[in-house]
Amino acid sequence: MTREEQIGNLVLNENAYFYNKIKAGFLPETLIKTTFREASYEKMGRYLLKVVKNKHRLANKDIEYSICVFKYRKKPTFINEEIQEWEEIKLAYIVIVDFDEYVAISKRNISGTKELDKRILSIDYKTISSLFIDDTTTFEKFSMNNMNISDNAIRQKSMEAIDLKENVSTLGLHSYILSNVRLNNDGGKVSLSLNSSRINKFGKKNNLDFFISWADVIVDKIENINDTENFLSSFATPLDFDSERQSLKPIAILLILTKLNADYEANRIESTTLVFNEYKRDIDLLSILDSFSRLIEIREFVSAHGNSYFKVNTKIVNDLSISINSKSITLRSQKLKNLIIKFSDETKISIIDYFNKYNSFIINFDRVELVYSHRKLFRDNKLLGNIDAFLSVFRPFKELKEVSSEKGMVEAESTYFSRESIFGFVEDNFLEESRFFLCDDLGKEWADHIGLYEDSISFFHSKYKDSKFSASDFQDIVGQAQKNLGNLSPSEYQWQMKVNFWNNYYVLDHVSTQINRVRKGESAEAAMEYFKQLQSFPNLKKKVYLVINFISKADLADRLELLKEGKTFKERNEVIQILWFISSLVLSCNEVNAETYIICKP
């Protein structure tokens, strides 16, 4: 078969990655050849097909295309060491269609194209999300990522319907970043990957000429896009990074372990090794990264030359820093550069390069409404505007000025929690009107206290601290509340364990007290039956209370007003993070139809 016949034999989906060129003009031959070498470094023998810069005439323009097809060996994932003849033979290809200012790439089983990546940029998030939308468009599927910095927030979420525009509330969407969308325009379905600017039109495969013509249509759409508001505008708003970067001052980072955990679950990760000169040692990577699963402070330093640089404040890795580049933000650490992940396909990458490659982190800034995630800078348009609404969840109690501990001093003969404790405060103020009131503290707790009322279930999470405006203390109790939201509607298998637990006396620091865990009500068994009965109520109210002594509503309102005015004050960074945590908690509670209350000092 001749080369022309091989080209004519190719069948491709209308599925490609689209990019802007950093500099206009057709890609040079040396770059194409370098890209092919990078993409095919594991190839067997010669290229099955190699076409470099073939010219192609469209109706109104000239373009160039290049093709590379090759064969490679791969060790199967179900064996540890290579065995002769136990190997998979696979084919890979990459097709590059060059439109002078734009590039369309179709590929399969291709990983590295490092040199080409330096010359191109993904199509703008807002542009690609608007390409196929008009008044008749239906939205069939959303995949989205939470840009909230709370470590216990739901990180990813997908939803699907005939038309999500008709049955999804826009409430809370402003804190989510769309990653994938499936649209339907009069039967023509299109899937968009917004983070990688991949467009996939559903339909049958066709030949290369048809693929090039389709790519040309997409490029025309990109060049002539009208920036209009649509349903997708309800999500977080992407900003132009280059125009904002000079004003960016990062204050905190949350490492996202979702992709890493998924790679472990799929058995894609074979080993992790610490490599330093001649020294090598296998490492339990997940146990190390567990220390990074919380929001971590970023501190600004000034070099001897007067330049600012930003270090992540963690003792685990003392050289982890943030680099604000011209187009993106990356992490740097020589120590993490020495921690090497080996995958089942034999590829290797350092953990710091892994985080940068998949952009597995979220950063927030001293400009409260900004967040960096998925290689984009986003603005939550409603965060500052919702301050009055967020403050409405705070309920001041002057009695919290007098508390001096979380649980008080308990002794063997104790039958109640002292009034000077937050536990005592909760029981004094919320027990009387309940039908059942339970102390669920310690063990696999759902909450510190659970109140069962006439038409509602309430979870109370309590925390005492001597701090003031402590973001980390607030993060702890928000995380405790978020991870237990599912227990507002517990599963059947959980009940017997809970009944056994509630039938015991309260034990603290090895002191067995006379404090019944059933603080009000006949018995643990009766409480369980009433809990189940409440769950069946169609108009059941679910409520989540955080009870804290280290925040004053009046002081917080004052600081939030200073934030709105753009003023500088001592606790600015902590208040920014607290505001994000409040937003995260309220939205998490909304998603399970629960009301949110924060009981605090006046």
Q: Say how far apart CA 365 and CA 576 lie, in whole Å.
A: 8
Residue range 173-186, pLDDT digits in tens: 777 888 899 999 88
Sheet arrangement for strand 279-282? 279-282, 269-276, 339-343, 348-350
Average pLDDT over residues 436-464: 92
What pLDDT is stored for residue 83 in this prediction?
81
Query: Which range (61-75, 276-290, 365-379) has the least confidence?
Result: 276-290
Q: Say how far apart CA 500 and CA 512 lie, in whole Å.
A: 16
Q: What amino acid is encoded at 559 in this protein?
A: R
Is the predicted pLDDT of residue 132 greater than 80, yes or no? yes
Q: What amino acid is encoded at 64 in this protein?
A: E
Q: At which residue do the structure tokens 């309430």 appear?
A: 458
Position 358 confidence tier, pLDDT thresholds 50, 70, 90: confident
Query: Which range (80-84, 217-221, 425-429, 470-474) has the least confidence?
Result: 80-84
Average pLDDT over residues 460-488: 88
Return the ∠ at Cα 460 (arms to 510 and 499), rounded to 5°.
60
What pLDDT is stored for residue 151 in this prediction?
64
User: Any idea how long the chain is?
Assistant: 602
Is the predicted pLDDT of residue 171 greater than 70, yes or no? no
Position 18 confidence tier, pLDDT thresholds 50, 70, 90: very high
Buried b (16+ CB within 10 A) or exposed e, 114-141: eebeebbebbbbbbbbbbbbeeebbbbb
Residue % of the chain over a pLDDT of 90:
34
What pLDDT is stored for residue 281 in this prediction?
87
Q: Say how far apart CA 441 and CA 449 lie, in whole Å.
A: 7
Residue range 249-308, pLDDT digits in tens: 999 888 888 788 888 888 888 888 888 877 888 888 777 777 777 788 898 888 777 778
Residue range 591-600, pLDDT digits in tens: 888 999 999 9
Tokens of 286: 């997940």
DSSP string, 558-572: HHHHHHHTT---TTH
Strands 296-302 and 102-108: unpaired
Position 152 confidence tier, pLDDT thresholds 50, 70, 90: low
Position 416 confidence tier, pLDDT thresholds 50, 70, 90: confident
What pLDDT is stored for residue 577 in this prediction?
86
Query: Which range (109-113, 347-351, 403-407) has the least confidence?
Result: 109-113
First-to-last C-alpha distance (Å) of the chain: 83
Position 555 confidence tier, pLDDT thresholds 50, 70, 90: very high
What pLDDT is stored for residue 75 in this prediction?
77
Among candidate residues 346, 455, 464, 313, the one with its CA nearest the CA of residue 401: 464
What pLDDT is stored for residue 397 in this prediction?
93
Around Cβ 345, how many Cβ atoms within 10 Å?
15
Residue range 387-399, pLDDT digits in tens: 888 888 999 999 9
Average pLDDT over residues 483-508: 88
Where along the chain do its domains lie?
3-122, 242-382, 387-601
Query: Higher model confidence: residue 519 or residue 388?
Result: 519
Q: Are 548 and 471 in contact (CB under 8 A)?
A: no
Query: Which range (81-95, 143-157, 411-425, 580-594) has the least confidence?
Result: 143-157
Position 25 confidence tier, pLDDT thresholds 50, 70, 90: very high
Tokens of 444: 């696999």
Average pLDDT over residues 158-183: 82
Residue % of the chain over a pLDDT of 70:
98
Q: Say how far apart CA 487 and CA 461 lie, in whole Å.
A: 13
What pLDDT is stored for residue 242 in this prediction?
84
Average pLDDT over residues 473-487: 89
Average pLDDT over residues 126-137: 86
Position 538 confidence tier, pLDDT thresholds 50, 70, 90: confident
Query: Higher model confidence: residue 156 or residue 162?
Result: 162
What pLDDT is stored for residue 170 in this prediction?
67
Percentages helix, strand, coil for the chain (3-state, rounded to 5) are 30, 35, 35
Please state the pTM of the whole predicted model: 0.74
What pLDDT is stored for residue 422 in this prediction?
92
